[in-house]
Amino acid sequence: MHRRPLLELLDRYGEHHPEEAGRVAAVRGLVESRPECFLRSCLPGHVTGSAWILSPDHRRFLLTHHRKLDRWLQLGGHADGEPRVAAVALREAEEESGQGPFAILSARHPGGVALPIDVDVHAIPARPGDAAGPGEPAHEHHDVRFALVASRDAVRLSDESHALRWFEMTELETVLPSLGADASLLRLGRKARALLAELAAGRAALLPGGLRP
């Protein structure tokens, strides 16, 4: 599992978002210190990838009501040994929505590298085992997040979700707080909205997700 590409990606992201040096340093600290950081067995934290999915017309976004966490969240999941975090986000988006292919919405960067839209470290509560499977201890997800644009509107519910729902971008501050959205999710949505403005101004680009960068 090669950590260098993720460390270089975090460097590029940090250049675009110097105000987020603390969160970038937290993810970097895990990646540098734990060779097994891409495995869910890495405790007390491991790398995950997630996706803020926009509709083809850019006017809506897709969230999942997560079955285990019982919350509305962006789609995403464990790397399970995959060191290319953009590939993780694309894979999880496809598996959890039945969608695809996706384009990656990214700030422009030399070489056409797909940059994350956000990074976040958040706590996952302990979960006892049950008939569906073993439990897990409390741990942290070091989440690298990408903005994706769907190719169609139709979605398919996976067994990881209670529901999938398209929300209007105008509902970001009006509806999501009433559904229990936390500050991290709202920040992610605001950054997606800002990145769409950057796209209109030519300072962002749509990259083919099929390349699995």
- pLDDT-based confidence at 210, cuts 50/70/90? low
**CA contacts within 13 A on the Cβ side of 89:** 32
Report pLDDT for 74.
Answer: 95
65 strand-pairing partners: 72, 163
Indicate if the pLDDT at residue 198 is higher than 70: yes
Residues 75-97 have pLDDT tens digits of 999 999 999 999 999 999 999 99
d(CA 211, CA 178): 37
Average confidence score pLDDT of the chain: 91
Report pLDDT for 212.
Answer: 41
- CATH number of the domain that residue 121 is part of: 3.90.79.10
Distances (CA, A) of 125 to 31, 44, 46, 68: 21, 12, 14, 10
- pLDDT-based confidence at 211, cuts 50/70/90? very low
Residues 48-75 have pLDDT tens digits of 999 999 999 999 999 998 877 788 999 9
d(CA 88, CA 186): 22
Q: Give the helix/strand (H/E) hosting 65.
A: strand 60-66
Report pLDDT for 109.
Answer: 85
Report pLDDT for 100.
Answer: 86
How is residue 136 written in tokens? 């897990």
Distances (CA, A) of 44 to 82, 136, 207: 19, 11, 34
Q: What is the domain range of residue 60?
A: 4-211
Residues 129-169 have pLDDT tens digits of 666 667 789 999 999 999 999 999 888 887 777 889 999 99
Q: Work out how many domains the chain is built from and give that number.
A: 1
pTM confidence score = 0.93
Q: Answer whether 78's CB lies under 8 Å from 48's CB.
A: yes
- pLDDT-based confidence at 110, cuts 50/70/90? confident
